[in-house]
Amino acid sequence: MGRLFGTDGVRGVANADLTAELALGLSVAAAHVLGEAGTFEGHRPTAVVGRDPRASGEFLEAAVVAGLASAGVDVLRVGVLPTPAVAYLTGALGADLGVMLSASHNPMPDNGIKFFARGGHKLADELEDRIEETYRGHASGEPWDRPTGAGVGRVRDYTQGFDNYVAHLVGVLPNRLDGLKVVIDAAHGAASRVSPEAFARAGAEVVTLGTKPDGLNINDECGSTHLDKLRAAVVEHGAHLGVAHDGDADRCLAVDASGAEVDGDQILAVLALAMREAGGLRENTVVATVMSNLGFKLAMEREGIRLIQTAVGDRYVLESMKDNGYALGGEQSGHVIVLDHATTGDGTLTGLLLAARVAATGRSLAELAAVMERLPQVLVNVPDVDRSRVGSEAELRRAVEEAERELGATGRVLLRPSGTEPLVRVMVEAADIDHARSVAGRLADVVKRTLG
Binding site feature residues for Mg(2+): 104, 246, 248, 250
The secondary structure of residue 363, as a DSSP letter, is: -
Which strand (E) or helix (H) includes residue 307?
strand 306-310
How buried is residue 238: exposed, middle or buried, by Cβ count under 10 Å (0-12/13-18/19+)? exposed
Tell me the backbone φ, ψ of residue 322, rounded to 5 degrees. Answer: -65, -40
| Closest CA relative to residue 117, chosen from 232, 238, 34 | 34
Q: Regarding beta strands 306-310 and 285-289, do their DSSP bridges make them parallel or antiparallel, or are they unpaired?
A: parallel
Q: How many CB atoms lie within 10 A of CB 415?
A: 22
Identity of the amino acid at 132 = E
| Closest CA relative to residue 261, chosen from 288, 246, 243 | 243
Give the Cα separation of 196 and 105 in Å (integer): 19
The secondary structure of residue 189, as a DSSP letter, is: S
8 A C-beta contact, residue 181 and residue 238? yes
Give the Cα separation of 12 and 109 in Å (integer): 8
Look up 27 and say whether it is catalytic: no
Report the SS3 class of residue 444. Answer: helix
Q: Regarding beta strands 241-244 and 181-185, do their DSSP bridges make them parallel or antiparallel, or are they unpaired?
A: parallel
Distances (CA, A) of 343 to 78, 120, 346: 18, 6, 9
Which strand (E) or helix (H) includes residue 134?
helix 125-139
8 A C-beta contact, residue 33 and residue 131? yes
Which strand (E) or helix (H) includes residue 448?
helix 433-451
User: Which of 27, 56, 104, 224 is flagged as catalytic?
Assistant: 104
Q: How many CB atoms lie within 10 A of CB 42?
A: 5
| Closest CA relative to residue 83, chosen from 56, 107, 55, 52 | 52
Q: Which residues contact 104 (CB under 8 A, 6 or more apart)?
A: 8, 83, 112, 246, 247, 248, 250, 251
Catalytic residues: 104
